[in-house]
Amino acid sequence: MAAQGNRRDFDKVLLLTTLLLLAIGLVMIFSASFVLAEERSGDSYYFLKRQAMWIVLGLFGLYLFSRIHYLKLKKMSLLILVVNFVLLGLIFTGVGTDLGTEAKRWLAFGPVVLQPSEFSKLAFIIFTAAYMSSRRINLKNIWTATILPLGIAAAALLMISIQPDFGTSLIVLMGAVIIVFIAGVPVLRAASLSVIGIPPLIYLMAREEYRLKRLFIFLDPWADPSDTGYQVIQSLYALGSGHIFGSGLGRGRQKLFYLPEPQNDFIFAVIGEELGFIGAAAILLLYLVFAWRGFQIAMKAPDLFGSLLAAGITFTIILQVLVNIAVVTSSIPVTGINLPLISAGGSSVFFTLISVGILLNVSRHGQDRKTA
């Protein structure tokens, strides 16, 4: 009876942390975008309403996947992989759209717009975890245990990078790499394959002039303050002017047409300006709690697939946090990675919440093993 009762239990700390990040995200999206939204659409609540709609859909997905046994995902992993490649391929057809940007990254199905690369992050975690937990895999065989899974991920990296979306493609690849590593592939082998992968990455970076510009301007943003260095400089101004306690919620200045798209990739700069070091540190603490609970779930999972799945999801989400904050603080070159659960972005928050639902499901069955 005890085990049966705990079967309905889940990691409440992880869920509460997720809900807090969502709430903070909604508040900060409105604060960062109400002026921009009014200027673009005549509705100051435009970005807030769109994000709220996607959060509602995402919470439904979270609930659904927290109830469906995660082992069913293992059986469907190949189908999920195929669907992922089909969606990525559709980008290059008439269904693909650029939404007025220079990148063709979205699929438009009437009023519904999805970004397949966001699905890729989760799809490759599921597939790689299922593949590496298969009993047929011999970890000593470099072809089946390393080159094949990472080669499939590299194919997705290529399809995503030519949209172009180089940052997301690296996140997808790193998610697969960490699962292969956790599954038990020798460190030296993983390191040697990383060296082999450096030349293609250099080529992908060099084939687009703007990527090289971002790389060089990262070293000195003030060398081109009105063009390639503009976004980073405005971000640093925002962070620096926040001091300890910030200028106050809604009172930031950099969002007033200085910082481009402040509700998206650079929302952490708005947080730093309006909530100060204290507010920014509090959000980092929430992500630290999220990482702690996610990796705890991975360690307590009842099987290898559950462990790899939970670790891959947690690592990928936290890696996005680290990359986003590193970009905002000019610690790495600019790349289009948003802040999970906080930045505006329908596909991002939708698939992230589904990922959290899977984590909660793994946590429920981890409790089953502990008490049975």
Which residues, listed in sequence order, are joined to residue 114 by a DSSP beta bridge? 107
**Cα gap 291→274, rounded to integer Å:** 25
Rounded Cα gap, residues 205 and 196, in angstroms: 16
Q: What is the pLDDT of residue 114?
A: 83
d(CA 317, CA 354): 12
Contact criterion met (CB below 8 Å) for 360 and 130? no
Residue with tokens 């008490």: 371
Residue among 124, 34, 114, 133 nearest 84 (CA): 124
> DSSP letter at 163?
T
Structure tokens at 135: 């009993």
pLDDT at 194: 59
Give the CA distances from residue 198 to residues 123, 192, 209, 285, in Å, rounded to whole numbers and listed in that order. 24, 10, 18, 33
CA distance 277 to 259: 19
HSE, side-chain direction, 13 A CA sphere, residue 302: 16
Ordered DSSP codes for 240-294: HHHTTT-S-TT--STTTTTSSSTTTTTHHHHHHHHHHHHHHHHHHHHHHHHHHHH
Helix count and strand count (H, E) for the chain: 15, 3
- State the pLDDT at residue 320: 95
pLDDT of residue 41: 84
pLDDT of residue 199: 65
Ranges of the chain whose pLDDT falls below 70: 1-8, 94, 98-103, 110-111, 187, 189-216, 367-372
Which of 312, 316, 288 is CA-nearest to residue 117? 316
Parse the chain into domains and list their residue ranges: 2-371
All residues at 6 or more sequence positions from 151 whose CB lies less than 8 Å from its CB, including other chains: none
The whole-number pLDDT of residue 16 equals 97
* Distance between CA atoms of residues 67 and 70, nearest Å: 9
* Half-sphere exposure for 242 (CA within 13 Å, toward CB): 29
Alpha carbon distance 208, 215 (integer Å): 11
Helix (H) or strand (E) holding 312: helix 304-328
Cα angle 142, 195, 139; round to 5? 20
Task: Give dist(CA 329, CA 67) in Å, integer.
Answer: 39
Paired sense of beta strands 96-97 and 112-114, if any:
unpaired
Say what the pLDDT of residue 2 is.
36
